[in-house]
Amino acid sequence: MVMRKILFIPILLAVIAIISFSVLTPSTTENPTLSIVEPIDFDTVPIRIGTIGDSATKLIIRFQPTANYLAEHLSDEQTQYSGKVVIAKTIDSMITLLNNNELDIFVESPFTTVTIMEHTEITPSLIRWKQNSQSYHTVFLSLIDSNITSISDSTIETWIFETKESTSGYLLPLAYMSEQGIFSSSNGKKQNFIFSGEDENTPVWLIEKKGDVGVMSNLDFEALPVSIKNKLQIIDQTMDVSRHVVSINSKLDFTLTEKISEILINMENDPQGVKIMSDFKNTKKYSEFDSLEIDTIKKMLDSIPIGIQN
Amino acid sequence: MKLSTQFLILILFAALFFAVGYQSVFYFQIQQNIVDSRVSEASSIIQLSGNEMKDSVYFLDYESINLQLNNLKKNPLISNVLVMYPDGRVISDGTESNEQFNMMTKNDFIKTSIGSDIIHVEIKQNMIQLVIPIIIVDKIGILYMDYSLSDINQILMNSLFVLLIFTIFLSVIGIIVGLYISSTITKPIRNIQNISTELAKGNFDIDFDSKKSSIDEMNNLLTSLQEMSINMKENQLELLKSERFSAIGELSAQIAHDIRNPLSIIQASLDLFEYLKDDPEKFDKLLKRNSRAVDKITRQIDDVMDFIRHSKLHVEKIHLKEMFDSLVLEINNIDKIKINLPKNDLEISGDKGKLFALFSNLILNAFQAIGDDGIITISISQLNDAVQIDIEDNGKGVLEKDLGKIFEPLFTTKQEGTGLGLASCKKIVESHGGSISVKNNPTTFTVILPLVCNPVN
C-alpha cells in the first residue's frame, strides 16, 4: 500500500511534467504573416516630379506630398492622376529622364536648372520660396580676426566650398569670383579648392583653419549658432538668385502645364497646400519665375574659366 | 520494506524526476530563447540593411549594393543574401559574377513572401530565412537573408552541461536533506519500536524523556506508551500480589490438609494414652504411631521450608559417581528394586548438599513410581561444557496431560505429597544454571548441569 503511494507521486509528477512540456514546447516554425498589397491602379496617369540628389529616400519622402497634392488637384472626372517622385543621382541621369519623357516637373536650383536646360526641353516656370525665401545669395566668410577682408586679398590660398553640385556653395560663388577677376588676377598663383561636403561643415573648417575663405548661402549663415557666427566675418557676397526653380517638361500638354503652375501658385491659399509647403523645407509659396534670370545665370556660368568648373 | 528505505526511494524518484524534467523544460526554454534572440537579431539586421539599401536599390547602384551585401556576409551567421526587384528577379547576390542576375528565385519562401509589404520570417531546422521589402513610398525591391542557427546546438550543449552540474548538485542536496528528514522521522519510530520490545519483555523501567523527538505526533505516541507502561507496571504488581496471595492460600490449604491426618492421629492417641497405660504393648504401639505422625508433619514442613528458603550455593567439586554411590547406599533398602549406577565418573562444581537432595528426590520419586518391583538406571554423559544425568525407571510414567505441569509448585498426583518436591528440584537445577525435563517411554528425568557452576540468583 505504501509502495503504491510512493509510486503514485512520481507518476503524478510525470503527468504534470508532460503537460508542462507540451505547453512550454514552442513550435519551431513561424508562419509568415501575409498581408494584402494594394493593387497598382493602372487607370491613373502619373504626374512625375523630381530633382537631383544622392538620398532618394529623403527626397522622395520630402517631395511625395507635393506630388500627391498636384495629382489630386489635376484629377477630374476624365483623368485620374497619381503623384510619383523621381530622383536622379546625377545631372546626366536627370537629362536622360527628361529627354525620355520620364519626368514632368523638375525642381532644382537656378544654376542646375540652367545647366539642364542646355540639354533638354524644360521651361522654368515658378520660383519655389524654399526656406521662406524667394531668393538668396552666397556670402564669402573669413575668420573675424583674420586680415582677409576682401576676396581679392592676395594672401588667400585655399577656398572652402560645399560640393561641386551646390549652387550657393560652389557655382554661384565661382561665377562671382570669375566676374571679380579672381582667376585672372592670381598672377599664376594656384588657388586651392577644398569641399566640406555639407554647408554646416564650411564654417567649422574655416575656424579650424583648413582654408582661408569659405562660402555658404546667406540663409545658412543666418541659421548658424551665434557662437560660431561671432567668429566669422562676411567679406563679400554674390548677387541674389532665385531660391529654387520649378521647370516643366515642354513635352507636357500646354493646358496641363498651365494647370500645374496654377495649382502650385494657389497652394498658399489652401490650408492643405500651406501645410504641405511648410513641411517641404519651409516652402512659403510658389511665384512666377522671371526668365531674364536665366540669361544672367548663363552669363555667369559662361564666365567661369574652363577647367575650373569641373 | 523499511520506512527509511521507502522514503529514500521517494526522494530518489523525486530527484530523478526533477533532474530529467528540469533539464527537458529548460532545454526547450533555452532553445526557444536562443531562437527568439536570433530571430530578433536577424530581423534587426535585415531591417537596418533594408533601410540602408534604399538609395542604392533606387538608383540600382550595383557597386553600393554589392558593398553592402558583402558587409552583411562578413557576419559569420549570414550565409546568403539577395537583393531582388519587387517581382522576385534577382538584382544582386553580392558576388562579382552575380550569376543569378535577373533570374527568378526558386525559393518557395521568397515566392510566398514577395507579395507582402512587411517582414517575413521562417525558421527552418538550422536556419532563419527572412524577407523584407525595400520601400520608398512604393516597393522598390526585396532583401532576402539566411541567418544560421547551426551553432545553437553547441550553445545548448554548453547550457545543458551547466544545467546538468546544477541539477546533480541540487539532487545531491535533495538526497542529503531527504536522508536527514528520513532519519528525523524514522528515529522516533525506531525508539518507539524499541520501547515496545522492552515493554513486551516486561521491562517497564524505560527513560521516556530521552526518547522525545521534534515531531509532535511521535511525542504524543510516546506519552501514550508511557501511560500504558505505568498502567502495565501497576497491573503486573497487582497480578503478582494476587498470585502470591493465591499461592499462599493454596499452600496453606495443602499444608493444612496434609497435617490434619497426623494431627488427628495424635489427638486420638492422646485420648487413648490414659486407657492403655496399663497395657505396655499397646501403649508402645500407640507411641510409635504418634511418633510417625509427628515425623510426617516434620517432613511436610521441611519440604515447604526447602522450597521457600533462599540460601546461597556452597560451590565445591563433586565427583558424580561417588555422590550417586553414597546416595544409593543411604536409600537403597529395598531388595526387589535394582539400581544401575553409572560406571564412568565426571567432576563438576556445585552445591553438594543441594545436588544430593535433588538426586535423592528424583530417585525416591522413581521408587514411588515403580512400586515394589522394578529397575532404576542412572547414566552420566558429558556434553560440551555440561553434564547430562538421566534417571530412568520402568514405572508407569507420567500422564501426558501432566507432563507440562509436573515441575509447577503444589502440583502432585500423590495422596500424600506437598507438590513441592519436583518444584524444589527444578529450583536447585536452575540455581546451578542448568535445566531439568521429563519424558515417558521409558520415564526419564534428564538433568543438565554445567561443568563449572555459575550460581544464578
The Cα A69–Cα A105 span in angstroms is: 13
The Cα A199–Cα A220 span in angstroms is: 7
One-letter amino acid for residue A117 of the chain:
M
Range with top average pLDDT, A250-264, B6-20, B320-334: A250-264
Q: What is the mean pLDDT of residues B53-82?
A: 92
B194 Cα distance to chain centroid: 10
A61 interfacial to chain B (CB closer than 8 Å): yes
Residues of A in contact with B24 (CB under 8 A): 17, 21
pLDDT(A5) > 90: no
Q: What is the mean pLDDT of residues B2-13?
A: 74
In this structure, what is the dihedral angle of CA atoms A32, A35, A36, A37, given to the nearest 10 degrees?
-100
pLDDT(B412) > 80: no
Average pLDDT, chain B: 84
pLDDT(B170) > 90: no
Q: What pairs with residue B350 in β-bridges? A: B316
In this structure, what is the dihedral angle of CA atoms B332, B334, B340, B342, given to the nearest 10 degrees?
0
Residue B23: CB atoms within 10 Å: 17
Among A32, A35, A87, beta carbon nearest to B58: A87
Name residues 16-45 of chain B within 8 A of A (Cβ): 16-17, 20-21, 24-25, 28-29, 32, 35, 39
Q: Extract the C-alpha cell encoding B146.
A: 539566411
Distances (CA, A) of B265 to A294, B268, B297: 181, 5, 11
Query: For residue B49, what pLDDT band results from cuts at 50, 70 and 90?
Result: very high
pLDDT(A14) > 80: no
The Cα B441–Cα B457 span in angstroms is: 34
Q: Are B117 and A35 an interchain contact pair (Cβ–Cβ within 8 Å)?
A: yes
Higher per-residue confidence, B28 vs A215: A215
* Domains of chain A listed by start with CATH number: 45-134+242-301 (3.40.190.10), 138-238 (3.40.190.10)
Residues of A in contact with B25 (CB under 8 A): 17, 20-21, 24
Q: Are A57 and B39 an interchain contact pair (Cβ–Cβ within 8 Å)?
A: no
In this prediction, residue B34 carries a pLDDT of 86
Query: For residue A34, what pLDDT band results from cuts at 50, 70 and 90?
Result: very low
One-letter amino acid for residue A126 of the chain:
L
Query: For residue A139, what pLDDT band results from cuts at 50, 70 and 90?
Result: very high
> Is the CB of residue B357 less than 8 Å from the CB of residue B311?
no
Residues whose CB falls within 8 Å of the CB of residue B242, separated by 6 or more in sequence, listed in order = none
Q: What is the mean pLDDT of residues B47-51?
A: 93
In this prediction, residue B39 carries a pLDDT of 92
pLDDT digits (tens, 9 = 90+) for B281-290: 888 888 888 8
The Cα B327–Cα B389 span in angstroms is: 15
In this prediction, residue B406 carries a pLDDT of 87
pLDDT(B442) > 60: yes
Average pLDDT, chain A: 86
Among A26-30, B167-171, B357-361, the minimum mean pLDDT is found in A26-30
A155 interfacial to chain B (CB closer than 8 Å): no
The Cα A75–Cα A73 span in angstroms is: 5
In this prediction, residue B50 carries a pLDDT of 93
Query: For residue A149, what pLDDT band results from cuts at 50, 70 and 90?
Result: very high
Distances (CA, A) of B317 to B62, B224, B323, B453: 128, 53, 11, 10
pLDDT(A261) > 50: yes
A56 interfacial to chain B (CB closer than 8 Å): yes
In this prediction, residue B334 carries a pLDDT of 56
Query: For residue A36, what pLDDT band results from cuts at 50, 70 and 90?
Result: very low
pLDDT(B161) > 70: yes
In this prediction, residue A13 carries a pLDDT of 61
In this prediction, residue A150 carries a pLDDT of 94
Report the relative pairing of strands A122-128 and A138-143 from DSSP bridges. Answer: unpaired
The Cα B25–Cα B348 span in angstroms is: 81
In this prediction, residue B269 carries a pLDDT of 80
Q: What is the mean pLDDT of residues B11-37?
A: 80
pLDDT digits (tens, 9 = 90+) for A58-107: 999 999 999 999 999 999 999 999 999 999 999 999 999 999 999 999 99
pLDDT(A46) > 90: yes
Report the relative pairing of strands B443-450 and B435-439 from DSSP bridges. Answer: antiparallel
> Is the CB of residue A115 less than 8 Å from the CB of residue A122?
no
In this prediction, residue A187 carries a pLDDT of 59
Q: Find the helix or strand (DSSP H, E) in which A108 lies.
A: strand A105-108
Among B25, B32, B55, beta carbon nearest to A21: B25
Among B14, B21, B59, beta carbon nearest to A89: B59
In this structure, what is the dihedral angle of CA atoms B427, B429, B434, B438, given to the nearest 10 degrees?
-90
Q: Are A29 and B123 an interchain contact pair (Cβ–Cβ within 8 Å)?
A: yes
Report the relative pairing of strands A122-128 and A286-288 from DSSP bridges. Answer: antiparallel
> Is the CB of residue A51 less than 8 Å from the CB of residue A59?
yes
Give the ranges where A157-268 is alpha helix by DSSP (H). 172-179, 201-207, 218-222, 226-229, 254-265
pLDDT digits (tens, 9 = 90+) for B257-299: 777 777 888 888 887 887 887 888 888 888 888 888 888 788 7
DSSP sequence for B402-421: GTTTTTSTT---SSS--S-H
Query: For residue A23, what pLDDT band results from cuts at 50, 70 and 90?
Result: low
Among A123-127, B24-28, B141-145, B352-356, the minimum mean pLDDT is found in B24-28
Q: Largest alpha-carbon pair distance within chain B?
A: 176
CA angle in degrees (0–180, nearest 5) for B142-B145-B150: 165
Higher per-residue confidence, B357 vs B336: B357
In this prediction, residue A33 carries a pLDDT of 33
> Is the CB of residue A172 less than 8 Å from the CB of residue A300?
yes
Among A288, A301, A310, A306, smallest CA distance to A123 is for: A288
> Is the CB of residue B358 less than 8 Å from the CB of residue B426?
no
| Residue-level length of chain B | 457
Distance from CA of A204 to the nearest CA of B (A): 28
Q: Extract the C-alpha cell encoding A279.
A: 513641411
In this prediction, residue A40 carries a pLDDT of 47
Query: For residue A275, what pLDDT band results from cuts at 50, 70 and 90?
Result: very high
pLDDT(B415) > 80: no
Distances (CA, A) of B282 to A34, B269, B279, B287: 148, 11, 6, 8
Radius of gyration of chain A (CA): 30
pLDDT(B103) > 70: yes
B89 interfacial to chain A (CB closer than 8 Å): no
In this prediction, residue A19 carries a pLDDT of 64
Residues of A in contact with B28 (CB under 8 A): 21, 24-26
Q: Are A61 and B109 an interchain contact pair (Cβ–Cβ within 8 Å)?
A: no
Q: What is the mean pLDDT of residues B27-31?
A: 82
3-state secondary structure of B42: helix
Among B295, B351, B359, smallest CA distance to B331 is for: B359
Among A113, A83, A137, A65, smallest CA distance to A301 is for: A113
Query: For residue B253, what pLDDT band results from cuts at 50, 70 and 90?
Result: confident
> Is the CB of residue B235 less than 8 Å from the CB of residue B243?
no
Strands (E), B308-413: 315-319, 337-340, 347-351, 374-382, 386-393
In this prediction, residue B167 carries a pLDDT of 75
Q: What pairs with residue A87 in β-bridges? A: A51
Distance from CA of B77 to the nearest CA of A (A): 19
> Is the CB of residue B211 less than 8 Å from the CB of residue B196?
no
pLDDT digits (tens, 9 = 90+) for A174-190: 999 988 888 875 556 67
pTM of the complete model beyond 0.90? no
Distance from CA of B210 to the nearest CA of A (A): 30
3-state secondary structure of A31: coil
Q: Is the ipTM of this complex over 0.85?
A: no
pLDDT(A17) > 80: no
pLDDT(A148) > 80: yes
